[in-house]
Amino acid sequence: MPRVADPRNEVGREKTEKWREKLRAARMPESCQVDTAVAAAVAVVMADRLEQDPDLSPDLQIILATARAVLKQRGFDGRGPSTKLMSRLFHRKDLSALPRAKRSAPQFRDDGEDGSASL
């Protein structure tokens, strides 16, 4: 939910909006949009891998364990973080509509044309 604008911070709010306009004009995502894309990609990879094999690969297990550790470090504890994490990864309404990337060489490149990148 958007925050209510604080009139005492109008100058900062205007600067932020101009910065966001520049990003949109350059077709550059904000950090939160990149974070969302990475989470969606992890969900896609996990769902696809689990269709082939019920056991998660060691790499995916490390990703999940690290996510749990980050949440714990941020003050969340108990089963809540794991439950929410699994819910966000396995119960996405858009999972079937998310794009699947092709396997590619193990180096990152961004061709800039269609926004695709490969690892």
- Helix, strand or coil, per DSSP, at residue 118: strand
> Looking at residue 40, what is its pLDDT?
92
Q: Whose structure tokens read 């992890």? A: 42
Instruction: Collect all residues with Cβ–Cβ distance below 8 Å to 13 and sequence separation of at least 6.
Output: 5, 6
Q: Indicate whether this model's pTM tops 0.75.
A: no
pLDDT digits (tens, 9 = 90+) for 8-63: 888 888 999 999 999 999 999 999 999 999 999 999 999 988 888 888 889 999 99
3-state DSSP helix/strand/coil % of the chain, to nearest 5:
60, 5, 35
- Cβ pair 72, 84 in contact under 8 A: no
Angle made by CA atoms 83, 84, 87, in degrees to the nearest 5: 90
Question: Which amino acid type is present at position 59?
Answer: D
Q: What spatial distance separates the first Cα and last Cα of the chain, rounded to whole Å?
A: 34
